[in-house]
Amino acid sequence: MSPWPHPDDRETAGAWLSPNGVCRWTVWSPFAKQVALILAPGTPEEKAISLQRGLNHYWSIELEGIQNGDRYLLKIDNTEPRPDPASKWQPEGVHGPSAVWDTERLEQGLLEATRPAEKWAGIPRSELVIYELHIGTFTPLGTFAAAIERLDDLVELGITAVEIMPVSQFPGSRNWGYDGTYWYAVQNSYGGPDGLQQFVAECHSRGLAVILDVVYNHLGPEGNYLSCFGPYFSRKYNTPWGSAVNFDDAHCDGVRDLVLNNVRYWIRKFQIDGLRLDAIHAMYDNNVRHILGAIRDVAHEEELSVQREIHIISESALNDPRVLDSVEHYGFSHDAQWCDDFHHSVHRLLTGEAEGHYEDYNDPPVNLAKVLQENYVLDGGYSPYRKRRHGRSAVNFPGDQFIISTQTHDQVGNRARGERLLELTGWPQARLAASLMLLAPNLPMLFMGEEYGEQRRFPFFCDFGDPQLQEAVRNGRRREFAEFGWDPQEIPDPCDPLTFESAILSWSWPEGSPNAAIRRLYSDLIAFRRSWSALKNYRYRSTRLFMAPPQSPLLIMDRWSPDHQDQRIRVIANLGGTLANLPTETLNHGTVLWRSEADCYTGLQTSEPRENRLQPWEVIVVSDMSPTSNAAIP
């Protein structure tokens, strides 16, 4: 009988510790002539032990008497010893030694103790209401343990899944996570692998799924030692971060194995419910089976093994439904993808900003109607921003394969100053944006704090140790924002700890404040999504514009379910800053069930007559139906 809990643990890269104290190290290094394991580096007990060459350029060794936390490095030929490319724990940071981590130590004890009575089966895709969060700024302490203390607030709001920005080990203690250099190691300053296991267990005990943001398209610039071990990168393709990860060049098999086993690792060892793949348009692969398809294959295998819902979600700038299409249609069969077209349409409507990629959304009302009906705005037509045609139609795909948002870490943090939408517009516009997102036939994703109108910014921050790299980051940010016409002097220094501290959430919504009022709006609309059959169907929708100049355009969206024809709803949104009269056809459709400008959402009392007209930026829901639960209707 194998001493390893999973028979193939001993065959994959990294250090795998069995319950009886036997540890097997495996490393892929195709050009090495010799590989040595350096145990207890930098101590009087330091010793070097040679690994044995095996098949397919893998080197390995098994040793007894190894304990959780034992430090080690790997030495290729006569080069400087380096941390393990598949390190699971970097307790001293990206430059320090790797540590053996007992993957089963908490998995069987802690996870079983905190699971619900019934086996955790995950959350179906159609029920996902996602909350994107950054562990470091989610709480003042910035740890997994501290984040657990806020989970009940998310459950109360109606969230069903948290999406964590990347937690793979990065330089220093302050970073968005996209500069990680160890795919398997969990950030030490957040609480390391034990902390993540506990966080996931606590989420599951509350009925929350956990989606982890992973970055397979590049590694960060500091502490990235992969090239010391082999051809992990290829110069065939250029990316914004330099040479591409080697998914299809010579000796790519070991790189692909490292990534695919990482997918298994998160699902098996941490009970992760889904992966959000960062910028897949920068993952180049000409193999017959693209790495993106292979990731979905592996995730599906694990889904069958663990018997719970596993979601593969992609961030793609391609507007290409091949990401979602089935294997039979030569697609990657991913479960869902981020849809920036919705955000860009809403943002341009509410802010008027037209620089950069917003140039493509020059008619926001029309763009909004199209994206709500057809999933993409850019679906093969000309893109002024790119100076070429872009995208392909996704009109036949259900809306729950598209994740929409009004704010994300990208759209907020990649502004020069990191302003949130509320700061750029106002409360009525923020309510309209939230209402459109939560009533749309797509999966909504909130960015931490938006649900109560957080006004602290979320600028870019990092904690590189190399002064030259720090200066390069500062200069790079200045050049990047020149395209948008921002003053370089207004860009916060990403390396300054105060920039990081400015992003920590306030968690403040005093009773009677606009913050408390908009949080109620989010909560009520999320409850409506659960209770109204028309909002549970992602295929049946009809969206159009009603134009009656000089008043603002009205966006009219009908949603229904063929199984509940008597529960048809109509969403009407005033897309401008003036009062708008309701069209006659709408008045005959039913009664107004809900208004975004109701007093309970504005925190104000108004005597303004409202019958038959909409306030500026107001959204209403009209129907003859009644909800199927006790969801409150103001």
Catalytic residues: 278, 315
The one-character DSSP state at 119 is: P
Which two tokens mark 597? 């400008």
Nearest to 398 by CA among 559, 565, 540: 540
Which two tokens mark 5? 């809990």
- Structural contact between residues 123 and 309, judged by C-beta atoms closer than 8 angstroms: yes
Distance CA 365, CA 349 (A): 7
Distance CA 369, CA 327 (A): 30
Within 10 angstroms of residue 583's Cβ, the number of other Cβ atoms is 15
Within 10 angstroms of residue 243's Cβ, the number of other Cβ atoms is 15
What is the torsional sign of CA 441, 442, 447, 449?
Answer: positive
Q: How distant is the alpha carbon of residue 467 from its chain centre?
A: 30
Distance CA 146, CA 148 (A): 5
CA distances from 542 to 369, 403, 559, 570, 580 (A): 9, 19, 7, 9, 21
Distance CA 402, CA 320 (A): 12
Distance CA 202, CA 208 (A): 8
Task: Name the strand (E) or helix (H) holding 564.
Answer: strand 564-574
Which two tokens mark 511? 């009773």
Distance CA 7, CA 11 (A): 8
Within 10 angstroms of residue 392's Cβ, the number of other Cβ atoms is 14
Nearest to 166 by CA among 245, 233, 266, 293: 266
Distance CA 224, CA 238 (A): 17
Within 10 angstroms of residue 235's Cβ, the number of other Cβ atoms is 11
Distance CA 481, CA 466 (A): 23
Distance CA 615, CA 118 (A): 47
Residues β-bridged to residue 161: 130, 209
Within 10 angstroms of residue 8's Cβ, the number of other Cβ atoms is 11
